[in-house]
Amino acid sequence: MNHPAVSGSPSEKTIQAPQKKRYWRDLDGLLLLDKPTGMTSNAALQRVRRLFGARKAGHTGSLDPLASGMLPVCFGQGTKVCAYLLESDKTYEVRARFGAQTDTADADGTVIAESEVKAVAQNDLEQAIRQFVGDIRQVPPMYSALKKDGRRLYELARQGLTVDRPSRPVTIRSIELIEYDPVEPLLRVSCSKGTYIRTLVEDIAQAAGTLGHVAVLRRTSVEPFAGLPMATMEVLEAAGEADEEALERFLLPVDAALKEFGAVNLSSEQTRFVRQGNPVQMAGSRATGMYRIYGDEGDFIGLGEVLADSRLAPKRLFAAPPQPAGEEPQK
């Protein structure tokens, strides 16, 4: 930040406030960020990454700028579990607004059509909602990041273009009317990956005999993190100002994202073989499938698959923890 120039010499000098030196560090873990409204998911990611000084970071499941709520951010080796979180179910609270349709299907857009029906009776709304619970198909909105012939749909939409989009299967686990209002009801939606809440609100409005769009949207959970606290940007920035290490108390371990898989604990010999990428024979019988693997010291190693012959084959390994100073890695 520039301060007023100081005169008194032939050439005026500009005094600048000292800048905190930025450095990047290797950091592993997961952060449950409460993304604020008015910010893209990528902008939120980059802001948090700089705050933590993390060399590597990624997020799972973008939220629209209008939306707030849970955005899991993965640091370091945590980025290896991003793909699993993308598959997770999500829960949203959405306030719909009936009577008008916008080009973006939310309140950030421009109204492109209005309906004579501005209010919906509770019985009619509940009947419309029931039609969309279960396995359904959705046509993605034009304002989305999906691609058509190599171009993002939202890029085409900004040019005033509309193209055909094939419908896609999604699963709506439940829709709860948590606050009835004839014009702006509040809904809670639990759904599978790939669900567009903006499209769902438009479809519910149409089924109720009107037009509609999203007024307010908040993602309250991403599985398997339902019920866990989120950290706001303001809280993180305050913690970072006090002590950079204080930020790390907001991190979850990487394996917190993989609780759907059972756990396997290995002996020291098995740990060595698995870390080298070799399968090991498991004692007793286990159901086939993916498991979390823990080494002989209780450290998380990665994911492995138990095969039909009871061997455990490593599938996704994580780097070994650093050795204490003065010790040589084991051969």
Per-residue pLDDT of 213-233, as tens digits, reads 999 999 999 999 999 999 999
- pLDDT tens for each residue of 92-101: 999 999 999 9
Residues 17 and 21: their CA atoms lie apart, in Å, by: 12
- What is the per-residue pLDDT for 190? 98
- What is the per-residue pLDDT for 16? 44
Fold of domain 261-317: 2.30.130
Nearby residues of 213 by Cβ (< 8 Å), 6 or more positions away = 96, 97, 100, 101, 102, 104, 105, 106, 107, 109, 198, 201, 202, 205
Q: Which residue has the tokens 């040019």?
A: 159
- pLDDT tens for each residue of 240-251: 887 777 899 999
Residues 67 and 160: their CA atoms lie apart, in Å, by: 24
Nearby residues of 236 by Cβ (< 8 Å), 6 or more positions away = 33, 48, 51, 247, 250
Mark whether 64 is an active-site residue. Answer: yes
Q: Which residue has the tokens 């993965």?
A: 74
Percent of residues, the chain, with pLDDT higher than 70: 90
Closest CA to 214 of 91, 66, 106: 106
Please, what is the average pLDDT of the chain? Answer: 87
Indicate the SS3 state at residue 205.
helix
Amino acid (1-letter code) at residue 16? Q
Amino acid (1-letter code) at residue 68? S
Closest CA to 278 of 293, 289, 300, 258: 293
Residues 195 and 173: their CA atoms lie apart, in Å, by: 11
Residues 82 and 74: their CA atoms lie apart, in Å, by: 7
* Residue ranges of domains in the chain: 29-87+225-253, 90-222, 261-317
Residues 138 and 87: their CA atoms lie apart, in Å, by: 17
Q: Which residue has the tokens 């299907």?
A: 105
**DSSP 8-class letter at 194:** T
Peptide bond into 224 cis (omega under 30): yes
Q: Using DSSP bridges, classify how beta strands 90-98 and 57-59 pair: parallel, antiparallel or unpaired.
A: unpaired
Same fold across 29-87+225-253 and 90-222: yes
pTM (predicted TM-score): 0.85
19 has a pLDDT exceeding 60: no
Least confident segment among 70-84, 155-169, 196-210, 227-241: 155-169
Q: What are the structure tokens assigned to 153, written together?
A: 């749909």
- What is the per-residue pLDDT for 154? 75
Closest CA to 185 of 207, 216, 206, 209: 216
Q: Which CATH number is correct for 90-222, 3.30.200.20, 2.130.10.30, 1.10.10.10, 3.30.2350.10? A: 3.30.2350.10
Largest CA distance in the chain: 86
Residues 83 and 79: their CA atoms lie apart, in Å, by: 8
Closest CA to 135 of 184, 91, 84, 194: 194
- What is the per-residue pLDDT for 321? 58
Fold of domain 29-87+225-253: Pseudouridine synthase (3.30.2350)
Q: Cβ distance 3 to 17 under 8 Å?
A: yes
Residue by residue, DSSP assigns 88-156 as S-EEEEEEEEESEEETTSBTTS-EEEE-S-----HHHHHHHHHTTSEEEEEPPPSSSS-EETTEEHHHH
Q: Stretch 141-160: mean pLDDT, rounded?
A: 76
Indicate which residue of 64, 103, 203, 255 is catalytic.
64
Indicate the SS3 state at residue 275.
helix
